[in-house]
């Protein structure tokens, strides 16, 4: 952190915990989201079919995750993922290493040239992209589709 710069504010935190799947689904699944999902499934049917054939993930599952996690790319977060993960890693250090490890994985994304410093913007917990994958998942699942050596 540059001298004199205040430490980053702690992320606002996760939504309240919901114990029952039914209650959770009632909060996140609405008619509008389902209709938009059907539209997106139809609009991207060819690409989704290609992804399904290549990776074995049903198109409907991809669209469901996409809709729930970012409202089909409408909101992917506006938090510097490095700062968020560093803060969470520090604040939760006594309990577990999850966020500290995700911070290290986010730094690796930058180190390997997949993103520039400041270019990893996501949710309060470091989730990235339209499906809000955590940095550790990037290293496992990201694919270089155009052959330039950088995962797309």
Would you tell me how many other CB atoms lie within 10 Å of the CB of residue 26? 11
Same domain, yes or no: 112 and 88: yes
Tokens standing for residue 137: 């998942």
User: What pLDDT is attached to residue 70?
Assistant: 94
Same domain, yes or no: 92 and 129: yes
Same domain, yes or no: 84 and 132: yes
Question: pLDDT tens track of the chain, all 152 residues?
Answer: 445 555 555 555 666 665 688 888 888 888 999 999 999 999 999 999 999 999 999 999 999 999 999 999 999 999 999 999 999 999 988 788 999 999 999 999 999 988 988 889 999 999 999 999 999 999 899 988 888 888 87
Same domain, yes or no: 64 and 91: no
Residue 152 maps to a domain: no
User: What pLDDT is attached to residue 23?
Assistant: 83
Range of the domain at 133: 79-141
Q: Which residues are catalytically annotated?
A: 69
Residue 89 maps to a domain: yes
Same domain, yes or no: 114 and 88: yes
Helices (H) and strands (E) in the chain, counts: 7, 2
The domain tally of the chain equals 2
Residue 96 maps to a domain: yes
User: What pLDDT is attached to residue 1?
Assistant: 44
User: What pLDDT is attached to residue 11?
Assistant: 53
Residue 12 maps to a domain: no
Model pTM score: 0.77
Alpha carbons 16 and 107: distance in angstroms, whole number: 29
User: What pLDDT is attached to residue 71?
Assistant: 93
């Amino acid at each position: 952190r540059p001298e004199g710069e205040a430490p980053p504010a702690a992320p606002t935190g996760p939504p309240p915990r919901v114990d029952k799947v039914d209650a959770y689904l009632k909060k996140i699944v609405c008619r509008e989201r389902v209709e938009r999902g059907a539209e997106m499934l139809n609009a991207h049917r060819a690409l989704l079919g290609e992804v399904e054939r290549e990776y074995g993930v049903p198109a409907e599952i991809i669209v469901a995750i996409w809709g729930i996690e970012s409202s089909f790319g409408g909101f992917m977060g506006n938090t510097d993922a490095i700062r968020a993960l560093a803060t969470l890693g520090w604040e939760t250090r006594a309990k577990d290493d999850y966020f500290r490890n995700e911070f290290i994985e986010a730094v690796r994304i930058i180190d390997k040239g997949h993103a520039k410093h400041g270019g990893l913007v996501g949710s309060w917990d470091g989730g990235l992209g339209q499906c809000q994958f955590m940095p550790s998942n990037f290293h496992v699942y990201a694919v270089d589709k155009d052959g330039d050596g950088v995962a797309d």
